[in-house]
Amino acid sequence: MRRSIALSAIVAALTVAAASVSPAAASPRPVRGSYGLTVEIVSVNGSGCPRGTVMASVREKMDAFVVGYSEFMAQAGGSSKPVDSRKLCQVALKLGGVPKGFTFAISRTDHYGFASLEEDATATYRTSTYFSGQPTRVEIEHALSGPYDRPWQFTDLTLPDQLVFKPCDADPNFNINSEVRVYEGSDPSKVSFLAVGEEAQPTYRLTLKTCP
């Protein structure tokens, strides 16, 4: 039998949490508490995230982690070069601290950033997450249209039956591949841009499941 429970539920007592989950098909159930999740950056590559511009840390409740970018931005129009309109970033993370006998998946992601788009300008933000060596990826895409000049936020929830769990018998990296792209507006002399994670960072929330 496999059971899914929220990561923070493990804090109170593993035995109590397991006993409270129906063996049939329980959905993730968040419970408040702290937890010893750890996150470490293994590698960073891409035109949108030069060395030293990406950070990763664990949220205070320790059932989620954040990835911050200080220079991940695409722009078009004005004096922008063609290469400025599309930026990529690939981040590999090592996630640890999960109790023995459990594995985890990302059940919710909150994306944050800022955009300033002129009339008729558009921008797209794409991400793909996966565990190294695994064929299944979770891919999302969001778009914005001008005129637009304010912070943005997108929230993505994964249904329980679509969660992608880390293999129980391996310890692969968790990879985040992101792309931002901007298309200039009706007046090419005006600059439009989209930035990711400047003041608020993308946040990834975990859900646990017992290993077979």
High-pLDDT (> 70) share of the chain, %? 81
pLDDT in tens, 6-31: 444 433 333 333 333 323 233 333 33
What pTM did the predictor assign? 0.81
High-pLDDT (> 90) share of the chain, %? 63
Say which range, 72-76, 126-130, 155-159, 198-202, has the weakest mean pLDDT. Answer: 198-202
Q: What is the pLDDT of residue 62?
A: 65
Say which range, 57-66, 118-127, 182-191, has the weakest mean pLDDT. Answer: 57-66
Domains of the chain, first to last: 37-210 (2.60.120)
Q: What is the pLDDT of residue 21?
A: 31
Q: What is the pLDDT of residue 100?
A: 81
pLDDT in tens, 170-208: 899 999 999 999 999 999 999 999 999 867 889 999 988
CB 202, CB 177: distance < 8 Å: no
